[in-house]
Structure 1
Amino acid sequence: MEDIMRMFGSEVKQSYSVARARIDKRLGFLRKVYGILSVQLLFTFAVATVFKWSSLITYIVQTNHWLVFAGIIGSLGLCVALQAYKNEYPTNYMLLSAFTAVEACLVGTVVTYYKVESILDAFLLTMIVTICLTAYTFQSRMDFDRFGAGIFSLLGILVSFMFMQLFFPTPGMDRLLSVGIAVLYCMYIIYDTGLIMERLTPEEYIVAPTILYLDMVALFLRLLKLRGEREKRND
């Protein structure tokens, strides 16, 4: 997700980063970030629940695939808008709310294809993994800029396997890819959390939850695919 960090223009001097700010500003930043992130996750969970339990909505999203493409385009457009207005209140909050709503609908569309037990399993596992990785990152003294090299290497390996799977598909390879991608997203959570502390200023509290939210959504969807059991469709 470093490209997202760059897109938001996080080129700051280290002396102004969150990690080097006064303790009161650092704690204020973390409270805002995790407060916003909690609202995003609760809203996404609520929307996904409505999508899953409403047979009408399930039918609409499963028979109109163009809605997914429209949502992806809308999400990208809102990311660009957030970059432009990240420090302008209340525009930044309105854009973040719209972005979260679009992402929640995309997640809601995906969960309509899976059983409730699988969805809850993936959700709880995502929360546990994210909390553990975030706690590790906050207390670690690791240089997370160097951590990016490992992510890039793993990404290259996964892309190579994807091409192999494209031409020589096997169920075992597909599962191996899912595990590898899940590990990649876990590494991204560690990496992005470190970058947020080192590269963002305390005033950029809108950017941080957006990055973490995207990481968590990506991990949830990958775990859902890896561990989830699909609903049987009655065509």
Structure 2
Amino acid sequence: MQAVGADPVSGPNCIPLRQYPPYGSSIESADGEGQGPKGLDFNNDSIRRGFVRKVYLILLGQLMCTLGLLALLTCDSDVKLYVAESRVMFLLAWVGMLVILGVLTCNEGARRKAPTNFIFLGAFTLGQSFLVSVMACRYAPKEIFMAVVITAVICLGLTVFAMQTTFDFTMMGGMLVSFLLVLVLFGFVSVFTNSSMISKLFVCLGALVFSFYLVFDTQMMVGGKHRYSISPEEYIFAALNLYMDVVNIFLNFVQMIGGSDG
């Protein structure tokens, strides 16, 4: 099973279960019904542009870190073998990532106060990058490169679509959570069936679900005419959501490409 770990459940991918802000202050309604921080009007164009710019700069740093570690740990065959067999490092990274994710999700101070928020985010990114590298060690460099290129093209296209479309995906939060739960249950079923066809269908559905999440999180970040948006003080949380979406899309595609040749 893939365990699109996080966003979905834990498994080979070992990405933590996706968490949505349980607090009211990080989500604002476009009509002013949200409980965003006083003195910050998210509809102000200058604030919004600065917020989006900051989120994408943070996301770029996270992705560069992940790609760098991925290349470092998968290009050399000896390092690749050591990483793939290092269960202690795998468990430490997985547990540490879950703990940090819980802190960032539940502790508003840890998310909003610098440099604490950047320290936590950096540690989470390193842990996630290592787990991504562990999974990628099962595949050839050519397959990994193809998955990176496909992920980059799709994420860029989805981002442009999310910013240009008039359809409001921020209203679909409940539906996306339902899709995620169905995906998780489908993943458990695929473990016991041991069918390559079901496994391929699982990763295809995973890529589709997280593509919707990427559009959803992008619109939550840009705000504007969308019904709901993330508070401009939650740039760490916004970057974390987008990062996990991109990583999960990549993990699904690398499994899809790697499984196509047996």
Q: CA deviation at 1:152?
A: 4.1
Q: CA deviation at 1:44?
A: 0.8
Match of 1:57 in 2: 79
- Return closer, same or farther for 1:8/1:75 CA change in 2, 3 Å cut-off: farther
Please give the alpha-carbon distance, in whole angstroms, between the structure 1 residues aligned to 2:103 and 2:143: 34
- Return closer, same or farther for 1:211/1:9 CA change in 2, 3 Å cut-off: farther
* Structure 2 counterparts to residues 124-203 of structure 1, below 5 A: 124-155=149-180, 157-159=182-184, 161-162=186-187, 164-196=189-221, 197=223, 198-203=228-233
> CA RMSD of the aligned region, Å?
2.8
Please give the alpha-carbon distance, in whole angstroms, between the structure 1 residues aligned to 2:104 and 2:185: 33
Aligned residues of 1:113 and 1:230 also touching (Cα < 8 A): no
Aligned residues of 1:79 and 1:99 also touching (Cα < 8 A): yes
Match of 1:30 in 2: 52
Deviates further, 56-65 or 141-150? 141-150
Q: 1:77 aligns with which of 99, 121, 124?
A: 99
* Structure 2 counterparts to residues 84-99 of structure 1, below 5 A: 84=107, 85-99=110-124
Q: CA deviation at 1:193?
A: 1.9
What runs of 5+ residues in structure 2 fail to find an aligned partner? 1-6, 8-16
What runs of 5+ residues in structure 1 fail to find an aligned partner? none
Please give the alpha-carbon distance, in whole angstroms, between the structure 1 residues aligned to 2:188 and 2:74: 33
Q: 1:40 aligns with which of 40, 43, 62?
A: 62
Please give the alpha-carbon distance, in whole angstroms, between the structure 1 residues aligned to 2:260 and 2:93: 22
Q: Which amino acid aligns with 1:42?
A: M
Deviates further, 81-90 or 144-153? 144-153
CA deviation vs aligned residue, 1:74-99 (integer Å, no higher than 9, x gap): 11111233342111111111111111
Q: CA deviation at 1:151?
A: 2.6
Aligned residues of 1:21 and 1:202 also touching (Cα < 8 A): no
Match of 1:225 in 2: 255
Please give the alpha-carbon distance, in whole angstroms, between the structure 1 residues aligned to 2:258 and 2:219: 30
Q: Which amino acid aligns with 2:158?
A: L
Between the two proteins, what is the percent identity of the paired residues? 27
- Return closer, same or farther for 1:9/1:90 CA change in 2, 3 Å cut-off: farther
Q: CA deviation at 1:157?
A: 4.5
Q: Give the structure-2-normalised TM-score.
A: 0.78
- State the number of aligned residues: 232
- Higher relative contact order at CA 8 Å, sep ≥6: structure 1 or structure 2? 1
CA deviation vs aligned residue, 1:148-176 (integer Å, no higher than 9, x gap): 35434534544554454344432212211
Kindly indicate which of the two structures has a greater share of residues assigned to helix: 1
